[in-house]
Amino acid sequence: MCGIIGYVGSRKVYPVLMKGLYRLEYRGYDSAGLALINDDLQLYKTHGKVSDLENRLRGKALEGTVGIAHTRWATHGEPNDINAHPHFSPSKKLAIIHNGIIENYNTLKEELINRGYTFQSDTDTEVLIHLIEDIQLNENTDIFEAVRIALNHIYGAYAIVVISQDYPDTLIAAKKGSPLVIGLGEDEFFIASDASPIVEYTKNVVYLDDEEVATVNRQGELKIKTTRNQEKTPYIQKLELQLSAIEKSGFPHFMLKEIYEQPRSINDSMRGRLNVSKGIVSLGGIIDYEQKFINARRIIIVGCGTSWHAGMVGEYLFEDLTRIPVKVEYASEFRYRNPVIYEDDIVVAISQSGETADTLAAVELAKSKGATIIGICNVVGSSIARATHAGSYTHAGPEIGVASTKAFTAQVTLLTLMALSIADNKGTLSKSRFYQLINEMETIPAKVEKTLELNGNIKELAKIFHKCRNFLYLGRGYNFPLALEGALKLKEISYIHAEGYPAAEMKHGPIALIDEEMPVVVIATKKGAYDKVLSNIQEVKARKGTIIALVTEGDQTVKKLADHVIELPETDEIFVPIIASIPLQLLSYHIAVLRGCNVDQPRNLAKSVTVE
């Protein structure tokens, strides 16, 4: 969601901004723009893609060494040229880019209108830059002070960068609620909403904290103050991100690359945590909290989207293995419904980006009620990771495709490790079952590798089904959350309507939809509720539905009933959600490609949802 890149230094700024915008595309956006100082402050923006902006700017003399650029995902005001960022101040001497939402923008706007200001756009952002200039003029202060004072008047979330024609050597940045990172080069600075546009230039970064305002200049100075005017010392960190991790490496899409990365990302998530020869599962990040888990009254898992689905798998895992009662909550509902939270509850927040606004708010709420908060995040140093008491990173590597794939399997991997470790310490799992499970877990990356060999078959299936208008996904037990995730993946990237259902619930509604036109994907692996799922398949067949079944290798029973089968390597039922994710991801991917959809950047979706 909305991307920011700013630069000041001795390089030509235009190529830095343009490359940065392309790197930020994965976050999801609907318009793009930039402003740079080339004698005066120049501003260009358009609705559409970064390539549209680039085409529009072809042939223009875009000199200058300081500038800001933005990809916008509309919140206030429709996606059009005028609402795109940057936004000018009334004098056109200042421009701003902004991620987040200014909640009191209407009141501020009315005040400014009463004082004679006019606005071009419908955005909250334009209100802020007007306010900054108003303060600068009326309080006769410099731009840095004006930004700081203005931020004390606004409510909501923001990451902003301001550029001023009168201060052509400087950029000003600030954040609250939305992330902002500053890259430090040799007498040059990069400011961005995440490290992806920075990593090819420098590995030295400073993550701004909430309510901090930074100024950077081409003399190599970085100064940070809080919005309450306290000086802060910048804490420089080393980026571990590699450039190759954010490039496609020969794959046609990031999504396919990330699907194929799963044997490694699952392995990386287990490395140093699963030690089969010693018979130990140990998560360093939560080791001091094991006793809290053992004594926990409940585990409440919060997340959004795919992370919420991982949380649902977590519910089955924790209850099954640790016997601790679990609730899984949409973070967006949890935060607003006055939930009952006890001090001996453990809240597990799951988030790939670590920036999802609702999940972050749910964490803050649970923390304020005294619960212990454990994070499962992928992005190191992200807001949720920092807001939790403890946690473990998934080590999936950067996920660029908007539809989550490797992050999901890494989240499930971590939840499995967590549940195993707590169950072992709590004594709710016999030693023999524990050893059986950890031995099996070690084989999962190889089984995922083997499952990826199904890609060709699944592509053929996609050719048969890519024109369908509806899909149903069914599963039971551990495979129910997977049915939800399979349906979500298809919806997100192919725009086909799909529903996930617990197989037995089909009889209470969805069965009415079944006819020859309706493909039904059933996860029908051995063990668990296999026999029951067989009956559900019969029910679909009796109504002429088409069955695509995910079965355990060698299964003959379902083969006789289903129209198409995808055979998966045999594993324990607790690991099926990881293995069976692969064909579901590949099916959605190939269907979306055949339908000509923008797989990595589906319409209207954002990778990191930093507004509620």
| Alpha-carbon span 168 to 206, nearest angstrom | 22
Which is nearest to 378 in space by CA: 334, 412, 418? 412
Q: Which is nearer to ligand G6P, 83 or 307 (CB)?
A: 307
The answer to whether residues 539 and 567 touch, using CB atoms and an 8 Å cutoff, is no
Distance CA(496)–CA(259), nearest Å, equals 20
Which residue number has the CB closest to ligand G6P?
Answer: 305
Q: Which is nearer to ligand G6P, 529 or 611 (CB)?
A: 611
Distance in Å, CB of 235 to ligand G6P, minimum: 24
| Site residues (CB under 6 A) for ligand G6P, limited to 307-326 | 307
Q: Answer whether 313's CB lies under 8 Å from 482's CB.
A: yes
Question: Would you say how long the chain is, in residues?
Answer: 612
∠4-161-106 over CA atoms, to 5°?
A: 100
Contacts of 466 (CB under 8 A, 6+ apart): 494, 590, 591, 594, 595
Which of 2, 304, 377, 597 is the catalytic position?
A: 2
- Asked if 304 touches ligand G6P (CB under 6 A), the answer is yes
Q: What's the rounded Cα separation, in Å, for the pair 171 and 97?
A: 11
Distances (CA, A) of 324 to 63, 286, 350, 511: 62, 17, 18, 34
Q: How far is the CB of 516 from ligand G6P (least distance, A)?
A: 32
Tell me which residue has tokens 């559409």.
Answer: 48
- Three-state SS for 597? coil
Residues in 324-363 that interact with ligand G6P by CB under 6 A: 351-353, 356, 359
Least distance between ligand G6P and beta carbon 605 (Å): 5
Pick the closest to residue 180 from 7, 33, 13, 383 (CA basis).
Answer: 383
Question: Which lies closer to ligand G6P via its Cβ, residue 9 or residue 305?
Answer: 305
Q: What is the sign, positive or negative, of the torsion defined by CA atoms of 453, 447, 416, 481?
A: positive
| Of 29, 167, 28, the residue nearest 95 (C-alpha) | 167
Q: Between 83 and 411, whose beta carbon lies closer to ligand G6P?
A: 411
Provide the minimum distance between the beta carbon of 581 and ligand G6P in the complex, in angstroms, as a whole number: 13
Residues whose CB is less than 8 angstroms from the CB of residue 241 and which lie 6 or more positions away in sequence, other chains included: 195, 196, 199, 398
User: Which C-beta is closer to ligand G6P: that of 304 or that of 547?
Assistant: 304
- Based on the residue annotation, tell me whether 468 is a catalytic residue of this protein: no
Q: Quickly count: other Cβ atoms within 10 Å of residue 236's Cβ.
A: 12
Task: State the minimum distance, in angstroms, from the CB of residue 119 to ligand G6P.
Answer: 30
Site string for ligand G6P, 573-612 (x = CB under 6 A): --------------------------------x-xxx---
- CB of residue 494 to ligand G6P, shortest distance in Å: 14
Residue placing its CB nearer to ligand G6P in the complex, 46 or 356: 356
Nearest to 523 by CA among 554, 492, 494, 480: 480
What is the smallest separation between the CB atom of 378 and ligand G6P, expressed in angstroms? 7
| Residue 136 makes contact with ligand G6P by CB under 6 A | no
542, exposed or middle or buried, with CB in 10 Å at 0-12, 13-18, 19+?
exposed
203 tagged catalytic? no
Please state, in angstroms and as integers, the Cα–Cα distance from residue 311 to each residue in 159, 266, 414, 423, 484, following that order: 29, 17, 11, 17, 12
Active-site residue identified among 109, 225, 406, 607:
607
CB of 291 vs ligand G6P, minimal distance in Å: 28
**Binding residues for ligand G6P, total number by CB under 6 A:** 16
Q: Which of residues 365-404 bind ligand G6P (CB under 6 A)?
A: 402-404
**What's the CA gap between 164 and 136, in Å, rounded?**
12
225 or 253, CB closer to ligand G6P? 253
**Separation CA 563–CA 356 (nearest Å):** 40
Rounded CA separation 581/575 (Å): 10
Specify the residue, 162 or 403, whose C-beta has the smaller distance to ligand G6P: 403
Residue 493 or 522: the one with the smaller Cβ distance to ligand G6P is: 493
571 binds ligand G6P (CB under 6 A): no
CB 24, min distance to ligand G6P, A: 15
Query: Binder to ligand G6P among 306, 383, 416, 546 (CB under 6 A)?
Result: 306
Q: How many CB atoms lie within 10 A of CB 110?
A: 11
Q: How far separated are the first and last CA of the chain, in Å rounded?
A: 11
The contact mask relative to ligand G6P for 253-292 (x = CB under 6 A, - = no) is ----------------------------------------
**How far apart are CB 356 and ligand G6P at their closest, in Å?**
3
Shortest spacing between CB 307 and ligand G6P, in angstroms = 4
Which part of the chain contacts ligand G6P (CB under 6 A), choosing from 100-108, 302-310, 321-329, 578-586?
Answer: 302-310
Among 305, 502, 528, 583, binds ligand G6P (CB under 6 A): 305
Dig out the tokens for 137 from the structure: 């003029």
The letter for the amino acid at 195 is: A
Measured CA to CA, the distance from residue 300 to residue 363 in angstroms comes to 11
Q: Which of 463, 557, 476 is nearest to 519 (CA)?
A: 463
Q: Which of 123, 411 has the CB closer to ligand G6P?
A: 411
CB closer to ligand G6P, 365 vs 403: 403
**Contacts with 567 (C-beta within 8 Å, 6 or more apart), sequence order:** 454, 551, 552, 553, 554, 555
Instruction: Identify residues 440-469 at the interface with ligand G6P (CB under 6 A).
Output: none
Query: Which residues of this chain interact with ligand G6P, rule CB under 6 A?
Result: 304-307, 351-353, 356, 359, 402-404, 605, 607-609
Which of the residues are catalytic? Answer: 2, 607
